[in-house]
């Protein structure tokens, strides 16, 4: 595990060295000055307040500088001015500099620290140590007012940066860059808005201001554009928002500008971007910067690093970028060139003119063009950039085979080609890249037999991802040779039938993915003998695994001490739930045959973010501690046999819970009112339980709630008026079916259901998803699932579309008329009001629901005629008005030509096809409706939907379906009998 961390640390270190080209380097010169006794004593006290631990520093060359400090001995040993990391004033002898960076210090610093006795300090560097999440003491700003250089970066300080830090007005260099946790997506340090502004205002001599990974949550003060001495500004991952002051680009001495990963920060590049040409590093990746790239960007000829990835620039990449011949690092991922439509490669394998300038950047060591709509075969022009160390062309549409021209890139350490359309075998020429450390080929169409031992030729390989191709990986019997430094191994869907024996010797493995194979039997004990300490991510889902081969004394206890992700869904596991270590953050054993209760030890899992126990045979009551989890975002317990009350979820308003699914259990009692605090809740499914309660009107105030399913319970009473006009404004799916609500139709809520008023095309996201990161700098998407019942038909969405809009109020005691306002919900796809006591006419406004695909008004007391304008609902695939008091002719043509007699039975006054009763007078002929295929093909846009449609055996010939054209699908089979589990959709975030 440490090796890969060191690898990425080294990459970051290279960037920092470039970034700190203007960094004041202070190496303390040994002098003959004699230090003052009280300062020597203060230094020694400071030393003994810490323990020395190698893991406290990330730098592989770290060493404990304080080890040489001594209280007794000869003159040289006791003179603190000669100690490692200490600098004294040549005349006064006072300690003016202390450099303990990367010194392996572990412990806390508080206000009583002897450090604050060194009042003459001008330079203080405590970076790259571990101060045990203590807060930065406020005395720092009170007592060390002579500081000109302060570096506390990457030292595990936490909490609020004290406002007193702004008192250090003499500072020219300030670095508080904190640690960003990639797993939990949180920063350790925070800086309030007022302190941030005071800091900017008071630091009039500032040259380097580094606050990366400090939560600031503020706009950038315009006064910063007046900091004429500023050379380096690093605000990466600071939660900044608003418009970035364009004047900062014109600061005369600015060499480094890093604003990456502030998604709410907007801005643009001024046309006269180059006034001084001093910029060396320009990083606005993953911000909301937009507009066109001015040609003047090509005048920044000193640039070494340029990152414009995941922004909103348009319309094209200026060819003047070819002038940046000093570039070492270029990331244009997710840059869509509108003028050329695709990063296209013609048949003669030449890059189109819009991108040909890349060939001029011969000093590039890192090139990332992921998500750039690249279309065609691999461009061998890139292979002429012989200094490349990192090449990322993932998430494009590259076709053909992996070319042999890649062997020109002899310095390559990272090659990312995942999520393309590459075909053919893995070429043997790839094994000539001796420096390769990171190889990701997952999710292509590669095929053929792979001899795993070939990868042992890549002795430096740390990351290998071959999952989700058409490969068959073969191991020699006995001991297969494994790359000695391998830390990440992805062999999902590689036709494995057993656990590879080389896992016995894989002591460095941090991430292992063997999902979607044909592995049978138990997990052998030797698979964890060598991975117990280091393994963080384990994915064995979708196999035929039956259990763990372990001693009875260790029964049900997972052996991996630091495990964060445990993914074993869709196997054949039985018995009690395995108990994870306290480090677990993702625990999924869905779709197995586990029995028994949830162990009480689960209450100690303070890092748990996803818990999926769905589709097992678990029983017992839900632990009350589930309501106290501070990190839990996804809780899926559906399709088990849990009983009892629901825990008091969301005890505080900052609870991160996004999805709660307890459907298909035996839950009783009432909904806990504490759930009104679940401000992040998007998805709530309590369907098919025994809950006895009234309508949860308090849920209307949940600002992001999109799915509310309460069907098949014992809810009762009236549904009153909403508290505000904005209740449930983001609700897209509501299911109150099969309860005992007794009110008039809840028409007062309709006006606030804004989500249902929006038609297809107005939402960007395809599915309800939760995103989490894995160790190999890639993302998984975890899909929400949903089940909707519609008149004897069970529709199972394995991925709930963000665009689905549905209302199911069936099988209650609603009365009164159907309000005409329902016609304003133009985005509706499914509407089921059946089996109530509704009266009056079918409103003409239903003809406005042009996206409607299923309409069920059966088993009511409706009267009058079926509105003829319903014929214009060309997506309507299911229609049922049976058992009402309707009369008159049945509309003809379009989709109505597909509905059978049972859609109209029980209405003695209806006439016309498909009923045998003829209407009085002549019927107008109807045009032949378009076929299902024609409607589907004409839908125009694409989105993948996985449906599982269950038809009861007694139903025969029932035409039921949902027209996929409205759900953005290019090829959709009606009534898919099996649903396809989606592969893990990984998104690269950084290379």
Please give the pLDDT value at position 548. 86
The model's pLDDT over 660-694, given as tens digits with 9 standing for 90+, comes to: 999 999 999 999 999 999 999 999 999 999 999 99
Average pLDDT over residues 703-713: 94
281-290, 548-557, 751-760, 947-956: which is most confident = 281-290
Q: Strands, E, within 557-633: which ranges?
A: 565-567, 574-575, 586-588, 593-596, 610-612, 617-621
Query: Could you give the C-alpha distances from 492 to 191, 466, 496, 876, in angstroms and in order?
Result: 43, 7, 9, 40
Whose tokens are 């000829």? That residue is 301
User: Per-residue DSSP letters for 171-224?
Assistant: -SEEE----EETTTTEESEE--HHHHHHHHHH-TT-SEEE-TTEE--SPPPGGG
Whose tokens are 């162990």? That residue is 599
**CB-based burial, 499-508: b 16+ in 10 Å, e otherwise:** bbbbbbbbbb
d(Cα 162, Cα 139) in Å, to the nearest integer? 9
What residue ranges define each of the domains in the chain, with the CATH number in brackets? 694-991 (3.80.10.10)
606-609, Cβ contacts within 8 angstroms, sequence gap of 24 or more: 606/582, 606/630, 606/631, 607/184, 607/564, 607/582, 607/583, 607/631, 608/584, 608/632, 609/184, 609/585, 609/633, 609/634, 609/656, 609/772
Average pLDDT over residues 441-453: 95
Please give the pLDDT value at position 775. 54
Confidence of residue 32 (pLDDT cuts 50, 70, 90): low
Confidence of residue 979 (pLDDT cuts 50, 70, 90): very low
d(Cα 143, Cα 113) in Å, to the nearest integer? 12
Containing 258, the helix (H) or strand (E) segment is strand 256-258
d(Cα 402, Cα 397) in Å, to the nearest integer? 13
Please give the pLDDT value at position 817. 95
User: How far, rounded to the nearest angstrom, does the alpha carbon of residue 524 sit from its chain's CA centroid?
Assistant: 32
d(Cα 399, Cα 320) in Å, to the nearest integer? 29
Confidence of residue 527 (pLDDT cuts 50, 70, 90): confident
CB 30 within 8 A of CB 317: no
Share of residues in the chain with pLDDT > 70 (%): 81
Cβ neighbours of residue 66 under 8 Å, at least 6 residues apart? Answer: 47, 50, 52, 84, 85, 100, 103, 105
DSSP 246: G
Confidence of residue 778 (pLDDT cuts 50, 70, 90): low
Q: Strands, E, within 711-869: which ranges?
A: 716-717, 733-735, 740-741, 769-774, 778-783, 786-789, 794-797, 806-808, 815-817, 830-832, 837-841, 854-856, 861-864
Res. 774: pLDDT tops 60: no
Coil, strand or helix at 604: helix
Res. 9: pLDDT tops 50: no
Who has greater pLDDT, 890 or 784? 890
Bridge partner residues of 447 (DSSP): 470
**CB-based burial, 237-270: b 16+ in 10 Å, e otherwise:** bbbbbeebbeebbebeebbbbbbbbbeebbbbbe
Coil, strand or helix at 128: coil
The model's pLDDT over 270-291, given as tens digits with 9 standing for 90+, comes to: 988 876 678 999 999 999 999 9
Least confident of 127-131, 516-520, 928-932: 928-932
Q: What is the 3-state secondary structure (H, E, C) of 374-385?
A: EEEECCCCHHHC
End-to-end CA distance of the chain: 17
Average pLDDT over residues 807-822: 94
Who has greater pLDDT, 342 or 107? 107
In the structure encoding, which two tokens stand for residue 653, read together? Answer: 């308003």
Please give the pLDDT value at position 973. 32
Containing 43, the helix (H) or strand (E) segment is helix 37-48
Confidence of residue 504 (pLDDT cuts 50, 70, 90): confident
| Average pLDDT taken over every residue of the chain | 84
CB 464 within 8 A of CB 442: no
Please give the pLDDT value at position 863. 96
Cβ neighbours of residue 342 under 8 Å, at least 6 residues apart? Answer: 373, 374, 375, 376, 397
pTM of the complete model: 0.81
Coil, strand or helix at 397: strand
The model's pLDDT over 114-125, given as tens digits with 9 standing for 90+, comes to: 999 999 999 999
CB 896 within 8 A of CB 879: yes
Cβ neighbours of residue 179 under 8 Å, at least 6 residues apart? Answer: 154, 156, 187, 188, 213
d(Cα 544, Cα 295) in Å, to the nearest integer? 58
Report, in this order, helix, strand and coil percent for the chain, each rounded to 5: 20, 25, 55
Average pLDDT over residues 357-369: 94
Average pLDDT over residues 483-499: 93
d(Cα 675, Cα 434) in Å, to the nearest integer? 56
Torsion of CA 95, 96, 102, 103, to 10 degrees: 10
The model's pLDDT over 584-622, given as tens digits with 9 standing for 90+, comes to: 999 999 999 999 999 999 999 999 999 999 999 999 999
d(Cα 846, Cα 508) in Å, to the nearest integer? 63
Q: Strands, E, within 308-459: which ranges?
A: 312-313, 329-331, 343-344, 366-368, 374-377, 390-392, 397-399, 414-416, 423-424, 438-440, 445-451
| Residue 722: CA count within 13 A, CB half-sphere | 18
Please give the pLDDT value at position 157. 95
Confidence of residue 751 (pLDDT cuts 50, 70, 90): confident
Please give the pLDDT value at position 676. 94
Least confident of 21-25, 206-210, 793-797, 965-969: 965-969
Average pLDDT over residues 825-847: 95
Cβ neighbours of residue 659 under 8 Å, at least 6 residues apart? Answer: 633, 634, 635, 636, 681, 682, 683, 684, 768, 770, 784
Helices and strands per DSSP (H, E), number in the chain: 7, 68
Query: Could you give the C-alpha distances from 475 to 436, 451, 452, 463, 543, in angstroms and in order?
Result: 21, 6, 6, 18, 19
Res. 52: pLDDT tops 90: yes
Q: How many residues does the chain have?
A: 991
CB 640 within 8 A of CB 589: no
Strands 232-234 and 208-210, by their bridges, are parallel
Res. 147: pLDDT tops 90: yes
CB 598 within 8 A of CB 575: no
d(Cα 230, Cα 763) in Å, to the nearest integer? 42
Cβ neighbours of residue 385 under 8 Å, at least 6 residues apart? Answer: 358, 359, 361, 362, 364, 367, 409
The model's pLDDT over 910-928, given as tens digits with 9 standing for 90+, comes to: 999 899 999 986 444 333 3
Cβ neighbours of residue 770 under 8 Å, at least 6 residues apart? Answer: 610, 633, 634, 658, 659, 781, 782, 784
Please give the pLDDT value at position 501. 86
The model's pLDDT over 851-877, given as tens digits with 9 standing for 90+, comes to: 999 999 999 999 999 999 999 999 999
Please give the pLDDT value at position 771. 55
Res. 953: pLDDT tops 50: no
């Amino acid at each position: 595990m440490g090796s890969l961390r060191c690898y990425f640390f080294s990459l970051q270190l290279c960037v920092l060295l470039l970034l700190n080209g203007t960094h004041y380097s202070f190496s303390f010169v040994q002098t003959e000055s004699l230090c003052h006794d009280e300062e020597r004593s203060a230094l020694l006290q400071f030393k003994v307040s810490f323990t020395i631990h190698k893991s406290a520093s990330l730098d592989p060359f770290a060493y404990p500088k304080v080890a040489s400090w001594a209280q007794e001995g000869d003159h040289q040993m006791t003179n603190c001015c000669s100690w490692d990391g200490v600098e004294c004033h040549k005349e006064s002898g006072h300690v003016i500099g202390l450099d303990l960076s990367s010194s392996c210090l572990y412990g806390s610093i508080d206000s009583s620290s002897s450090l604050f006795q060194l009042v003459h300090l001008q330079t203080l560097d405590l970076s790259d140590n571990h101060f045990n999440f203590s807060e930065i003491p406020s005395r720092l700003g009170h007592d060390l007012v002579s500081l000109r250089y302060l570096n506390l970066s990457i030292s595990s300080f936490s909490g609020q940066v004290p406002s007193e830090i702004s008192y250090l007005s003499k500072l020219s260099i300030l670095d508080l860059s904190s640690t960003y946790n990639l797993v939990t997506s949180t920063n350790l340090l925070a800086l309030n808005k007022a302190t941030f502004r005071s800091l900017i205002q008071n630091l009039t001599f500032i040259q380097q201001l580094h606050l990366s990974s400090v939560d600031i949550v503020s706009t950038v003060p315009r006064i910063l554009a007046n900091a004429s001495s500023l050379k380096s500004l690093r605000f990466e991952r600071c939660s900044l928002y608003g418009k970035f002051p364009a004047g900062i680009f014109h600061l005369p001495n600015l060499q480094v500008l890093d604003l990456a990963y502030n998604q709410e920060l907007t801005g643009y590049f001024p046309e006269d971007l180059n006034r001084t040409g001093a910029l060396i590093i320009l990083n606005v990746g993953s911000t909301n910067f937009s507009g066109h790239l001015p040609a003047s960007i090509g005048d920044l000829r000193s640039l070494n690093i340029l990152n414009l990835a995941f922004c909103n620039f348009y319309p094209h990449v200026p060819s003047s970028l070819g002038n940046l011949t000093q570039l070492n690092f270029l990331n244009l991922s997710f840059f869509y060139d509108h003028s050329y439509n695709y990063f296209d490669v013609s048949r003669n394998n030449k890059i189109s003119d819009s991108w040909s300038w890349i060939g001029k950047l011969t000093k590039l060591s890192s090139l990332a063009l992921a998500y750039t709509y690249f279309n065609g075969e691999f461009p061998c022009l890139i292979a002429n950039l012989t200094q490349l160390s990192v090449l990322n062309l993932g998430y494009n549409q590259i076709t053909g085979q992996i070319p042999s021209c890649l062997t020109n890139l002899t310095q390559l350490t990272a090659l990312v080609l995942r999520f393309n359309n590459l075909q053919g075998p893995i070429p043997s020429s790839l094994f000539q890249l001796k420096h390769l450390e990171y190889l990701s080929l997952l999710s292509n169409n590669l095929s053929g037999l792979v001899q795993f031992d070939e990868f042992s030729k890549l002795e430096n390989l740390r990351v290998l991802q071959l999952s989700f191709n058409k490969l068959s990986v073969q191991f020699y019997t006995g001991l297969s040779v494994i790359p000695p430094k391998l830390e990440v191994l992805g062999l999902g869907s590689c036709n494995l039938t057993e656990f590879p024996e080389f896992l016995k010797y894989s002591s460095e493995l941090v991430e292992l993915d063997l999902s979607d194979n044909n592995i049978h039997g138990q997990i052998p004990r030797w698979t964890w003998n060598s991975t117990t300490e280091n393994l963080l991510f384990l994915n064995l889902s979708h196999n035929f695994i039956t259990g763990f081969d372990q001693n009875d004394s260790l029964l049900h206890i997972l052996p991996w001490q630091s495990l964060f992700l445990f993914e074993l869904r869709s196997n054949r596991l039985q018995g009690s739930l395995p108990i994870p270590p306290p480090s677990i953050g993702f625990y999924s054993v869905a779709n197995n045959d586990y029995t028994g209760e949830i162990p009480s030890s689960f209450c100690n899992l303070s890092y748990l973010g996803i818990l999926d126990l769905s589709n097992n045979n678990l029983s017992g009551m839900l632990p009350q501690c589930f309501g106290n989890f501070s990190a839990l975002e996804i809780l899926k317990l559906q399709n088990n046999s849990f009983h009892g009350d629901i825990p008091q979820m969301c005890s505080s308003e900052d609870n991160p819970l996004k999805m709660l699914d307890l459907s298909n259990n035996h839950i009783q009692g009432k909904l806990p009112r504490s759930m009104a605090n679940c401000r992040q809740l998007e998805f709530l499914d309590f369907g098919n339980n025994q809950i006895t309660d009234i309508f949860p009107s308090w849920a209307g105030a949940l600002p992001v709630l999109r799915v509310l399913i309460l069907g098949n319970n014992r809810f009762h009473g009236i549904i009153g008026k909403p508290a505000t006009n904005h209740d449930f404004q983001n609700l897209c799916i509501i299911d109150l079916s099969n309860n005992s609500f007794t009110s008039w139709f809840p028409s007062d809520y309709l006006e606030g259901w804004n989500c249902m008023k929006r038609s297809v095309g107005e939402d960007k996201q395809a599915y309800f998803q939760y995103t989490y990161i894995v160790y190999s700098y890639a993302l998984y998407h975890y899909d929400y699932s949903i089940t909707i019942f519609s008149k004897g038909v069970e529709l199972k969405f394995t991925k709930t579309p963000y665009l689905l809009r549905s209302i199911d109020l069936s099988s209650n005691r609603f009365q009164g008329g159907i309000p005409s306002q329902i016609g304003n919900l133009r985005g509706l796809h499914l509407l089921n009001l059946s089996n109530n006591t509704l009266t009056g006419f079918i409103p003409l406004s239903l003809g406005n629901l042009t996206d409607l695909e299923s309409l069920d008004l059966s088993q009511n007391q409706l009267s009058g005629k079926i509105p003829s304008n319903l014929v214009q609902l060309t997506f309507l695939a299911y229609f049922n008005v049976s058992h009402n008091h309707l009369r008159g002719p049945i509309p003809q043509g379009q989709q109505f030509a597909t509905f059978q007699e049972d859609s109209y039975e029980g209405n003695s006054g209806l006439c016309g096809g498909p009923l045998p009763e003829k209407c009085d007078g002549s019927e107008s002929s109807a045009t032949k409706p378009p076929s299902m295929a024609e409607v589907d093909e004409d839908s125009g846009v694409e989105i993948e939907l996985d449906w599982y449609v269950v038809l009861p055996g007694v139903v025969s010939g029932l035409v039921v379906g949902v027209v996929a054209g409205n759900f953005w699908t290019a090829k959709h089979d009606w009534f898919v009998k099996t649903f396809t589990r989606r592969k893990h959709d990984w998104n690269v975030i950084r290379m």
